[in-house]
Structure 1
Amino acid sequence: MKIIDSTLREGEQCFGVYLTPDAKANILTRLAALGVDEVELGIAGRDASVAGLVELARGLGGRGHGVRPELSVWAACREDTILAGAALNTDWLHLGLPVSAAHMEKRLGLSPDALLAHLARHVALACASGQARVSLGLEDASRADPEFLVRAALAGRDAGASRVRLSDTVGLWHPLEVAEVVGRLKAAVPGVAVGVHCHNDFGLGTANALAGLMAGAEYADASVLGLGERAGLAALEELTAYLHFRLGLPYRVEVLPGLCRTVADAAKIEIPPRKPVAGSAQFSCETGLHVHGLTRDPSLFEPYDPAKLGLSRLVALGKKSGRAAVAAKMAEFGMDPAGRDLEGITRKVRAKSERLGRPLTDDEARDLLSR
């Protein structure tokens, strides 16, 4: 299982996001520190900053940044962009070509057979250009005819592609469909690695990327904070955190908060407080049942220790609090709850919180509990 980060390519395609060369260099350095397996640096022939990023990336390994990620650039299936991409001498050259009937008819003006010939010719050109490895992206795969999808993958493999990347361009697949198509492709097209590129239009990008990996895909694309066209892609921080905490993959997740803040600042966006993995307030709690469990053992209601991501646990009193939460807060403040009317105090806590329309601050709670 390997993760390809596309923040510097797909992420910058997000509406209104403009990453400066310095921001890209900072993001690349942090991605290497995370241990991401591959970084898609940009678009061949369009992004002048890619050459500098390639040079920077070559020096990252062995300088406290972990192992250098493999590098790739994206190119359309055109001779000029393929040659421009090959000249960058990255580890992978990734070609993109739509394979759905709608794109063939309305955008490309190619018949299925003509598209396969076009695909094979340009994959062969990329391989002949001296590029070490060629990756073929089959775009709009979720709306393509399943049999034609296999034919396109076979044509790419036979022309020399080492990887086929299935792109759910408009986010239509659900996890069971992703698993099915990955399994079918791996059985029908042996000898080529499979990747998935899952858009998030229905909020399934990260789940679909994980489903692809669990079904046998060797690669999944993601971007920091899920940045990308429309609703974006699978979220890198969510995917790497899951693979680390649940499956034991050695990503250095402690760098995720800094990476997410760096991208958010560069993209001029806010991180929602309860954004999975990246949000600062996701471990805040006032509900009585949960607070009671947290006082016994935090793992009862937390999937991982928030400190591992530089996050803090916040337990506050409010209208949803119970007696256990009140007693725990008193103990936290150095007050002895023994002999106190916890039921009555809890009613006062709830009433004040409801009047304020929010949980109590620690100062408010301390004042109320000390009476």
Structure 2
Amino acid sequence: MLSFPLHHSPRYQDFSIKTISDETIREGGERALYGASDPDKIRLVEKLSQAGIKDIDVGSGMNEANFLRQLLLIQESSDAITDDTTFSFNLTLKTWEPLIDRLEKDVPRSMLNRIYVSIGMIEIESDKKLFEQVADRLYNIGVGRLRSSLLNAFSTEIDEDKYEHLISQIDRVRQVGVSLIRINDSVGTLFPDSTAVLAANLVNDNPDIDFYLHGHNDRGLGTANSIVSVLHGFQIIEGGVAGVGNRAGLAELESITQMFDENNITVDSGPVDVAAVAEAARYSEQTYLTVPTPYRPVSGFLVTNENAGIVNVPDYLGVSRDVDYFLNRIGLFPAYLRQILIEGGINEAALTAEIISEVYERMQTRFDRQYTTKLAEYEQLTARIRDFHDDIVRLPDIIETAKQVLREQPIGLSMDSVPQ
């Protein structure tokens, strides 16, 4: 198994990376069960750009070339998208032909020169050098820069044979002028220790390449793996706000930027506003019709709420934070009631044991009544959420649509071709 290069040393604070790359728009579009409106997506891009996220992958679908053109026009005409924001467009060697056609048709050559195109699945038809042909075609239509996305199904350790295969892929993309490579943890099976070894070796063996990790969260480790990758040398970090991404999602950019801020890890592309990144994360839920996550780290809309009626460890330790306090039945202690009331301006002398007891009983009654009401509302809400997702378009729906189209064809078409 692969081990750390000789003399390798991680970095934990007081360093810089080149940029933060955002996958919210691309993977959000791929995961969105019911799609998303262009105006909402544009507003999300604007929020990301203004927050300091300067490298944005905008899509991989048939309509995204036109969406890319809209973004580039906004960037030219207003400050809503900063001039130093870079866009990339994603295609694979299974989807390249229609996507290149749409890029050439929908995006002026002068604009294509300003974008990256990322090419994935480069092993397809490698005997025919399909990757090299597609790269040449993209350059010919005016695309200014290429990057590549290398797919991997890593295990808990980095096998030396698989690593050598990855190096051969890197050598191949290097030959067509690619110096920016995304290493995909395609099914989210990396662990932080193996990520560290992988990143350290890739940077050591390829000093001419800038790497970043596409860290899927299938095991709940996407954010940890992405952070570890830069601690061990990767020059770029990537994720999605609110962890938006396929399946369990990607690394959460708001958590990453918070960690960077606390450890003086800076970004060459400019300062990052952590609060604005968190706001973009909350907006992404509206954009992709996702049920809001109240307790998500950093950006959850209730994540700063603390129970005033128990000993909060951060408060006890004197940690300065901006929090909103609430009270529930589990925190209903007479001592805390007294403290809350005194701090609320009520004269301490008036707070006899009888008064505190009466307040206690009334609050307890209120909490009991509130729970009964909220339980009924919760059951209705969860039922509606499940109903909301009931009409996802599944593969049998597509097959049935094709059957209907075939049945509607002229009589001359043999019905033998339509399964019953």
TM-score between the two structures when normalised by the length of structure 1: 0.77
> Which residue of 246, 250, 266 corresponds with 2:287?
266
Is the Cα–Cα contact under 8 Å of residues 284 and 315 in structure 1 kept in the other structure? yes
Q: Tell me if 1:39 matches 2:56.
A: yes
Q: Tell me if 1:133 matches 2:149.
A: no
C-alpha offsets along residues 13-34 of structure 1, whole Å, 9 cap, x if unaligned?
1141411111121111111111
What corresponds to 1:319 in structure 2? 330
What corresponds to 1:334 in structure 2? 345
What corresponds to 2:394 in structure 1? none
What corresponds to 1:278 in structure 2? 299
Residues 273 and 114 (structure 1), Cα distance of their counterparts in 2 relative to 1, 3 Å cut? same
Greater relative contact order, per chain length (Cα 8 Å cut-off, separation 6+) = 2
**More off after superposition, 191-200 vs 249-258:** 249-258
Residues 208 and 97 (structure 1), Cα distance of their counterparts in 2 relative to 1, 3 Å cut? same
**More off after superposition, 312-321 vs 213-222:** 312-321
Is the Cα–Cα contact under 8 Å of residues 331 and 337 in structure 1 kept in the other structure? yes
What corresponds to 1:191 in structure 2? 208
Is the Cα–Cα contact under 8 Å of residues 74 and 80 in structure 2 kept in the other structure? no
Q: Distance in 2 between matches of 1:15 and 1:24?
A: 12
Q: Distance in 1 between matches of 2:370 and 2:318?
A: 22
C-alpha offsets along residues 82-125 of structure 1, whole Å, 9 cap, x if unaligned?
565475333311111166xxxxxxxx5x5xx638x444444455
| CA apart distance, 1:38 | 0.5
> Which residue of 55, 62, 69 corresponds with 1:51?
69
Is the Cα–Cα contact under 8 Å of residues 98 and 141 in structure 1 kept in the other structure? no
Q: Distance in 2 between matches of 1:167 and 1:27?
A: 24
Q: Tell me if 1:147 matches 2:172.
A: no
| CA apart distance, 1:259 | 2.0
**More off after superposition, 133-142 vs 73-82:** 73-82
Q: Distance in 2 between matches of 1:67 and 1:346?
A: 62
Q: Distance in 1 between matches of 2:361 and 2:165?
A: 62
Q: Distance in 2 between matches of 1:351 and 1:158?
A: 75
| CA apart distance, 1:335 | 1.9
What corresponds to 1:290 in structure 2? 312
Is the Cα–Cα contact under 8 Å of residues 28 and 288 in structure 2 kept in the other structure? no
What corresponds to 2:228 in structure 1? 211
Note the aligned Cα RMSD (angstroms): 3.4
What corresponds to 1:367 in structure 2? none
Amino acid at match of 1:285: E
Q: Distance in 1 between matches of 2:255 and 2:45?
A: 18
Residues 290 and 326 (structure 1), Cα distance of their counterparts in 2 relative to 1, 3 Å cut? same
C-alpha offsets along residues 193-213 of structure 1, whole Å, 9 cap, x if unaligned?
101111111111111111112
Amino acid at match of 1:288: I
What corresponds to 2:276 in structure 1? 255
Q: Distance in 1 between matches of 2:369 and 2:192?
A: 38
SS of residue in 2 equivalent to 1:9: helix
**More off after superposition, 244-253 vs 198-207:** 244-253
Structure 2 alignment gaps of length 5 or more: 1-16, 372-420
Q: Distance in 1 between matches of 2:68 and 2:318?
A: 48
Q: Tell me if 1:239 matches 2:256.
A: yes
Q: Tell me if 1:70 matches 2:71.
A: no
SS of residue in 1 equivalent to 2:223: helix
Structure 1 residues 91-110: aligned runs within 5 Å: 91-97=115-121, 108=124
Amino acid at match of 1:133: R
SS of residue in 2 equivalent to 1:243: helix
Amino acid at match of 1:114: D
Residues 188 and 358 (structure 1), Cα distance of their counterparts in 2 relative to 1, 3 Å cut? farther
> Which residue of 321, 333, 356 corresponds with 2:367?
356
> Which residue of 193, 200, 214 corresponds with 2:217?
200
Q: Answer with 1 or 2: which has the greater Rg.
A: 2
C-alpha offsets along residues 215-249 of structure 1, whole Å, 9 cap, x if unaligned?
21122221222222111111222222322344354
| CA apart distance, 1:73 | 0.8
Residues 120 and 178 (structure 1), Cα distance of their counterparts in 2 relative to 1, 3 Å cut? farther
| CA apart distance, 1:141 | 5.0
Q: Distance in 2 between matches of 1:179 and 1:354?
A: 54
Q: Distance in 2 between matches of 1:346 and 1:214?
A: 54
Residues 141 and 92 (structure 1), Cα distance of their counterparts in 2 relative to 1, 3 Å cut? farther
Residues 348 and 233 (structure 1), Cα distance of their counterparts in 2 relative to 1, 3 Å cut? same
Task: Say how many residue pairs are matched.
Answer: 335
Amino acid at match of 1:331: I
Q: Distance in 2 between matches of 1:177 and 1:30?
A: 34
Q: Distance in 1 between matches of 2:256 and 2:178?
A: 26
Amino acid at match of 1:75: L
Residues 171 and 179 (structure 1), Cα distance of their counterparts in 2 relative to 1, 3 Å cut? same
SS of residue in 2 equivalent to 1:160: coil
What corresponds to 2:390 in structure 1? none
Is the Cα–Cα contact under 8 Å of residues 211 and 235 in structure 2 kept in the other structure? yes
SS of residue in 2 equivalent to 1:10: helix
Is the Cα–Cα contact under 8 Å of residues 19 and 267 in structure 1 kept in the other structure? yes
TM-score between the two structures when normalised by the length of structure 2: 0.69
**More off after superposition, 249-258 vs 27-36:** 249-258
Amino acid at match of 2:50: A
